Structure 1
Amino acid sequence: MALLEASGIGKNFGDTKVLKDISLTLEQGEALAIIGSSGSGKTTLLRCLNFLERPDSGVIKVNGETMWDAADPATQRESEVRKKRLHFGLVFQNFNLFPQYTALQNVMLAGELLAKERPDYKANKKAIQAELEQQARELLAQMGLSERANHYPHQLSGGQQQRVAIARALALHPDILCFDEPTSALDPELTGEVLRVLRDLADRKTTMIIVTHEMHFARDVADRILFMDGGVVVEEGPAKQLIEHPQEERTKQFLAHYSE
């Protein structure tokens, strides 16, 4: 059974059909890259999969459990959707760090908010805080940022801020880590350091969905690639095979244009 199963996903904005009957699966430990031109629906699909957008049609399952069914209002209650969103960690294009908090505090924040809902939080506050801090420091070390733990976002480069954002997403132990063009806001010289982190996560068999415009990265790091155009999945397959030997004409045109 696949970790993630999405079937018949559709999304409209007014009269515009942005996603049209999209289905996909994702296995445990797999890295899936989603590519396509601007406006093809890549980001909307990613946002639908983690409920930042509500699909107008379709079903989303994680570990066999139905997270969303557009035909079943019982799956759409806001309190339930918030809990289900914890299955996904999302790293945005523009970092979205809280400027008033240090790197360490940014990584710890979501865990602290969740911990406060635990019935034993008041009795064990110090121990819980210590555990969260230790985890956050370990994640920052994994990102190569141990010496930046007490720096504020404005004291960090764009690449460092994005690595803090990745550590923050990992802190909640999501089933699936989602990236929305994680290098698009970075200068070229900073892109490499973020791609190295993503490569390391792939080597660790982190389950990931990566919307990216980095074709070489998608070919070399992703297990599979899904190519979108006009709100539909045009072609999908093993990463190297799809990049080097695309079958569909629209895929060929996109890749030829991108390599110009």
Structure 2
Amino acid sequence: MAIEKMELVKISAPLEKINEISATLIESECFHPRSAAKLFSSDMGFAPLADDASYQKRANELLELAGTYNITPELLDLSEQEDFSDFDDDYLDDVEAKLIKYSEETRSLNEQKEILLSGIQSFEHFKGLDVDLDEISQCRYIKVRFGHMPKESYKRLNTVYKDNPYIVFNVCSEDETDYWGAYFAPVDMLEEIDAIFAFLFFEPTRVPGAAGAVDEVINECQKSLGIISSQLSEIQGKTNEYIS
């Protein structure tokens, strides 16, 4: 990388003009500011200007907020900006509060969306099972087990246990290796029937609690997903409008 020789330029001007002059020099992109404190010693009679760097502090806060919410700040022409009085602490607090509100609403909706998607994924294996999930879960005398078993085990079940009326596996769907479905067992025989299905390599699957048949539950979840997607789009639109 080539190194360009630079000349040191000293500027002396009334304090009220320094900002305007500095902005003009910086925007020309031909000058690189350097701290005067590095060029003068205290015995030369110069003292640094006491400044709380409030503009820098506010700018850093704005940049931090922008980075948190993936916002690209718009650079203003310094010559057109008379002062930064609009960017006071109250302004920054309002911006942060508004963005946090949008962010929390988005996070909450995304969490609900993930729960619904996970539920749909669980229910999809058991489409066509025409029983009310809420009613069967509260039944005192019958228990249901959802899950899947290898196809070879299903063949064995229908051969070895074909004469046992309590050993029935209701198939709802299948993949390359397994059948997915459910079996029902009387409470007083639950331990025995669970043991038989475990012997057949049945793997239980937790199904979220819901009211209605499986197909009805999936439809309701999909409707809720549509509502949540609309709400997310609305919040994103509000955020874009606010920061534009």
TM-score category, normalised to shorter length: under 0.3
Bigger Rg, which one:
2
TM-score, length of structure 1 as denominator length: 0.20
Structure number with higher strand proportion = 1
Relative contact order higher in (CA < 8 Å, ≥ 6 apart): 1
TM-score, length of structure 2 as denominator length: 0.21
Structure number with higher helix proportion = 2
